[in-house]
Structures are given as structure tokens and as C-alpha cells.
Structure 1
Amino acid sequence: MTVPPGDPADAPLRLSATTGCPDTWPVFDRLWRDHGPVAPVELEPGVHAWLVMGYEELKTVTGTPRLYSRDGRDWRAFQDGTVPPGSPLGPMMFFRDDVVGHDGDEHRRLRRPIEDAIAAVDHRRLRRTVEYLCRGLIGAFAERGAADLVAEYAEAVPLLALGDLIGFDPRQSRELLTAMRALSGSGSGEDAHEGDRRLEALLSRLLAARREEPADDIASLLLAHPGLRTAAEALRSIVVLMSAGNHTTMSWIAQTLGLMLTDPRFAGRVRGGRLGIDDALDEVLAVAPPMINMPARYALRDTELGGRAIARGDALILGLAAVAHDVRAHAGSQFWQRGNRAHLAWSAGPHACPARDPARTIARTAVATVLHALRGVRLAIDPADLEYEPSPWTRCPARLPVTFTHADPGGTHGRRSGTRA
């Protein structure tokens, strides 16, 4: 990418500055003020990209695969060696031979089995499963009167729920959690690639077991789906579900809990029993979605977008949070209003997230269960002291320490029908 020289306003901001800050609002306001709907950003030292922040520009990029490819092999910075094969950007931005990495007919072929698997989810059973799992987690810290609702709760809920849907016993999920944290975080390239390898190994063993003995789970459904040609394609489809669904849902849960505990509009409702959970869930999606910045699209030819000259091979990052600052689309009003779901937190176009309904079931049940179970729950630190995980892509509190006066975890003993918990 080429940034016009001599203009200090065009000095690229490090992308991670948009996720690790205490408040994203002034950061995106400044980016809009300095750059307009398409801003230059730095992914890592010497590696640049465009952050697409305009509502219509983002829909153009996501809806025009013939011009903006999802195939990481089209990234010029990788082709010319600017980004080495071991870069920590690799797991999120390099080509993967799965539904995420392809466009066109191949993308549609690989996406259909995933859509069918998600459509087969029984949401009543999922809600019961998640509630049971949540109450088990709450039971582990109920006697202490204090907890970290990230490490001891939000971090585990999606993984356990997804594991149940896919076919894992939750007792096997701790190793999965370690692999997913390495894959999704911003640690060294070695950590990220090792997490990727460990995740695929764990899931390979699950698929081998399901080939021998099918069950009522997503792994068995994908193995039997006529749209997938090999067991390797089923494996890659499950990897996509796990990697895309786990950390983002964890962030959604943690951020919603943080909002409800710190924002006066919601904190009073928590203490008074009028929880407003759906409002809080929707506000997080609208103004600070779990995937703040989504990688990536790659320009297939020289073009123009939002007044910027985009060169062939440039990387474009989808600013899913920054679109809330586009006054052209939102008539200059506060973007989030009660009941508004006109956001792009799920992305758009052919690659839009197909699992928004199961994600909402998991997130809403997790938030509701912990807030109903904990009496007198309060954040144990000043909200200004909240810190966020160091990732350029997702925004999740690193810790959410709380105290509470009483816990009623109820239902932590015995098995419920319809769950492997």
C-alpha cells in the first residue's frame, strides 16, 4: 500500500491500538477525522494495511469477491516476503484450504455443510446445556464470594458448549482451551502455529472416533454430509467452527458482563433484578463487537475505495466496530439505540458469520445465568483499571474480577437430559 508522504495525519496507527485501549470511541473518532472511511494502519512493524471503516465501503469489500479476494495467497506482502511464513499474522491472514480461504463456487460448496450443521442445532437443548455448564462453573467459585468472570467463566463457556455440539466430552476441553488461546492470541508465531497444530490433532482424533461410531453431533453430521468430499474437509470445517466461534463468543460474554457491571444504564438493572440482557448484548455488537477488526480481503487489481488508491495485493481489514462512527450511514446520531441490530458485527456478504443464532443462545444464557445466580455482584476494581487482551483482532477484558454477597449455583449436581456435561 502507498500512503501519501509528508502528511503527519497519514502516519499509520498500529492496529492493536484500536483493541487494547480503555475506550475505543475516541480512537475511531480520531481515525475517521484524520483519514475518512479508509485508514492506513500497521499490522506489525513494516507491515501495512487499510482499515475499512465506512459502512458502504465495508459492504462493497465484503460483497465483491471478484475484486476483493479472501484468498491470502493474493496478499502482496506475503508474496514479496515482507511477511515471513512464521509471522503471528499467519493463522488469521494466510491462506487456509477451507471455507474461509475460498471464494465463489468452492466457497459455496464448503459453506453449505456448515450451514446445514448449524441449522440442525436444537436451541432449547443448547440453552439447557449451556445453563447446566454455567452453573457447574459458578459452583466452583460460589463459596469464595469472588471470581474472575473471564478466566473462571466466560473463557470456558463457549468452548464447553461448542465442544458439546461438536461431540467432545467437556472434560476433554481444557486442552482445547489451551490450543484455542494460542491460536487466537497475539503471542509469538511459534505459539500461534503450535496452537493451530494441537487443535487439528485433537479434532482429528474425534473424527476418527466418529467414523467408527457416529453420534448425534456436528462431527458426525459433517462426516456424512454429501457436500464434503473427504474427512480432511470435515476436519477443516470443524476447525473453522471452533476457531471462529470460541474466542468471539467469549469476548461477547465478557464484554456484555463488563458493560452491565460498569455502565449506570445497566448496573442499576443488575442490582434491581431488571437485567436488560438483550439490550446489553446488542450494544456490544453495535459499538464494540468481539471481532473489532476482521482480517482480511486482498485487492485483485488496482482500484479506489473511499477516496484511497488501493493497489493490487493490498490487504484490507474490516473495521466492524469503526462502522459505528460513520455519520453518513447513521445520520449523525448515536449508532446504538435500543433494539437496533443494523450493525456489521457478523460481517456481510458471502463470508458473513452463519452461526449468529447459536452464538446468541450461548451468550445470552451465559450472561443471564451468572447474573441470576450471583447476588450483590459488583466489579472488584475501578472500571478505568480494566485491561484488554493484546490482540489486533478481538477485544476482550483480560480480567473481570467481581465480588458477590451470595451465590445460588443450583443444578450443579446430577446430569440433565440432552447434554453430555
Structure 2
Amino acid sequence: MTSGPARILAGLDELSPLRKQIPFAGLFLVAALMAVLLPTVPVSSVTSLIAGLAVVAVALVLAVIFGRPALLRFAIIVPALDFVAAGLLRHGTGESHSIFAAILLLPLLWFAARAGRRYVIYAVLGTILSVMVPFMLGAQRENNPNELARGIFNATVFAISATVVNMLAARARQHLGSARAEAAAAAEELSRAAQIQKFLLPKKAAILPGYETAGACIPSRAVGGDFFDWYAIDGGLGFTLGDVMGKGAGAGMIAATTRAVIRSARNSDDPVKALALTSDCLATELSQAAAFATLFHARLRASDGRVLFSDAGHGLSLLIRGNGTWERLTSHELPVGLMPDATWTSREIWLAPGDMIVSFSDGVLDLYDGTLAAIAEVAELALNADCAQDIVDAVHKMASGNSNPDDVTVLAVRRSELNTAVAQDLGLGDGRALSSVSKA
């Protein structure tokens, strides 16, 4: 595993030239101010000090210019100028005895962290140049004839440091490359999973004369734990909205399993059968995953608008009446997969022309204040909708483009408007009451 310092060295080469140059320029300015303001830091050459500041200023400008992608290959000129500036700083503040020799580390790291052994050579040459500048500019050695030898020794130490830095950076770069490849592969897998999950959602409205269907699912991550579904059954339509505990790929896999199990019960007239099968699957085959889901599952009889439904701990479904009223289809029963011996009840409602069922996940509540009080806001959207697609579009618009904390899913099934005579013939003008039918 790559160490923290090694990762920093590998990442150093990816910084923009300006970001790498700013620390050197800042420290150089501090050194110049110290030489001017502190009596303990001698100014041995004002000319060299000013020249060094000028070189740093030029390097800073070039760092900005060479930061453009087309000119990035020329950015190596910037640390090369830093070596010259460091040598001038040393000559201007104590000559070969300058306390600012450590500033050589910054351009040395800039070179040595780059990929390729040749940059070690460049770093060594730059260090030798900085060490030799005071002597090239006439630094006095009478008081210490071994000063040049000490400078050469220091340059050797810097050279060894550059070699070690280059090796560590190369190793870290290799590890980072592998990590990025793995991350890219994982992202590709998630993208594929998201596509598959999208394929599992209904691609178009159900073909059921006299009825409208619409739905949308916006995962908070690439893959979500919500789903909606509808499919043809004998004489009508089965439809479901589910919200699996959790988010991400794991929840998405459980959601796909839940959808498949519910569909396997399409030939059963009682929606409780689908919930029981789903609960058995989650509580046995997926028991170690500690998975559970809230579900609203219903079966619509197209001939008269009868809807038989079961709600497993969901409680976020609304019956929107064509006369401008609405009621919440509450639930007092457990989610599927939570308790192996849980039971559920089937209830029935009747859709009159213009009536609509809207079911949604708790992520829709988060689009408002996140509390149950937001149910009234969703109901208001539905009452103002002219068709099933309108309410779905309204929710989708609020959720799109935002970083939603939870998956946002909505499903709407509406009975189309009929003329008054037909409605009276069917006896559905005012709708029918909610009633209990069976219990698992």
C-alpha cells in the first residue's frame, strides 16, 4: 500500500505550475524580507538579492503562461529558474554561509517527482548550479578553504535525495495508476448496473384503454433502491412501487430481486400473495443481507375501476378524486422481509373517471421539508395535474439537477375522464369506499 508521503510526491507532478511555484515564491519573499529586517541575517549582495527577486517574478509569470495545456511541456523552465534564484539568494544573504540553502528542496522536488530518471539528473545539475553560484559570483573563501568542498558535499546529499524522491514517486505513481484503473472499472460496472436498472423500469405507458400510467425514478446515486413497475394482468393491470432499505448497488440488486418476485405472482388475484413471496425471499435467501423493503402493490380491474391493493409499511400512496378531494392510503403493516411471520391485508378502492392513484417514495418528501406534512404538497400537485404524466413530470422537475439525499420515485395510475352518461351506467360517478377484503 502506498504511504501518505509517497502519494503526495506522486500527486505533486499533477499540480499546475502556478500551484507549485507559489510556495517557492512565497518563501523567497520571506527570505528577502528577513535579510532586510533582521540584523542577524547578513545582506552580502543587494544586487544578487534584487536579481533573485526578479528571477522569481519572471518564473511566477511563466508558471501562469505554461499552465495552459498546449504549453505545459515548457513548464520545466520554471523550476530551472528557481535554481538560479536560489543561488542568487544564497549569494545575496551570506554567500556560501547562507541560512536559506534549504530552499533548494522545492525546485528539486519539482524535478525529481516527475516520471523519468533524467529528471534526477536535471535536479542534480540545478542543485550544483545553486551551490556554485556564490563562488561563481566571487564569494570569498579565505576564511574557510574547505567551503567549496562543503558545497559539493551538500550537492551530493541533495542528489541522493532527488534519487530517492524519484523512486518513491515512481512507485506511488504506479500504485495510483492501478487504483485509478480499478476505480474506472468500478465506475463502469456501476454505470452498467444503472443502465440495467433503468431497463427494468417500464419503458412506456401501459396499453390499457381508459387508463393512464406514468412513472419516474431518480436514484440519489448511480444505482438506487427504489423502483416502480406495471404489467398487464388478466382483465387489467398490476402495478407496484417499492423502496428498499439503503442506497447504492446493494439496494439496487435487492430491488431487482423484489420486482422479479412480485411479477412471479402476477397470476394470483390477491396482491398479498406477491408480498408474502417477496417477504419469504428476503427473509430466507437474503436473510444475511438484512434486507427489507416497503411496498405498495395493486391490481386494477379495468372493466369497473376496482383496485385491490396491499401496502407493506409504505403508506405514501394517495387516492386523488376527480371532484377535487384526496385521501391518503395509510398503512399499519410491516415492510416485507422485516419479520418472517408478518401478514398483510388486501384492501379495495374504486377509481371513478378522473380519479388517480399516486404512490411515491420518501425521497419525494425530502424535496420539501422531509416530514409527512409534505404529503399535502404532493396531493396539491396531483390535484392540479390534468393527467398522470403531469404529476410525474412535476416531481421529476423538482428532483432533476439536485443532489438528492434519497432516491426519488413516483408512480401514477389514472382513470381517464368519461362522459356523464357512461359514468352513471357504470355506477362510479362518486367513487366507492375503502374496504378490507382478505388477510394473509
* TM beyond 0.5: no
TM range (shorter): under 0.3
Q: Which has the higher strand share?
A: 2
> TM-score normalised to the size of structure 1?
0.21
The structure number with the bigger radius of gyration is: 2
Q: Which has the higher contact order (CA 8 A, sep 6+)?
A: 1
